[in-house]
Structure 1
Amino acid sequence: MKKVRWGIIGTGQVAHHFARDFCHVKAGELRAVASRSKASADRFAETFDIELAMVDYFSLINSREVDAIYIATPHTLHFDLVKACILAGKAVLCEKPFTLNETQSQTLYDLALERNVFVMEAMWTRFNPVFEQVIDWVEEGEIGLLHSIRASFNTLAPTDPSHRLMDKSKGGGALLDMGIYPIFLAQHFFGKPDFVQNQAVIGDTDVDVFEQVLLGWESGQLASLEASMISCGPNRAILSGSEGYIEIESEWYKAKSCRLVSANGEEQRIALDFPGTGYQFEVDEVNRCLDEALLQSPNYSWQDSLELIATLDEIRQDIGLYYPGEEEPDDDDLEHHHHEHGHHKHSH
Structure 2
Amino acid sequence: MSHPKLEDAVKTLRQQYGARNPSSLRAFEDAKRSLPGGGTRSSIFIQPFPLVIASGHGTCLTDLDGHTYRDFVSDFTSGLYGKTNVILRDAIVGAIDNGMQLGGHTPAEGRLASLICDRFPAMDLVRFANSGTEANMIAICTAMRYTGCSKIVVFEGGYHGSLLSHFRMDELNAGPSSALTAPFNFVVCPYNDLEQTREKIVHSTGDVAAILVEPMLGAGGCIPGEPSFLRGLRELATEVGALLIFDEVQTARLDMGGRQKLLDIEPDLTTLGKFFGGGFAFGAFGGKREVMKMFDMTQPGAISHGGTFNNSPCTMVAGVTALEQLVTESALTTLNALGDNMRESLNQGFSAHSLPFIREY
TM-score by length of 1: 0.31
Identify, as 1 or 2, the structure richer in helix: 2
Larger radius of gyration: 2
Identify, as 1 or 2, the structure richer in strand: 1
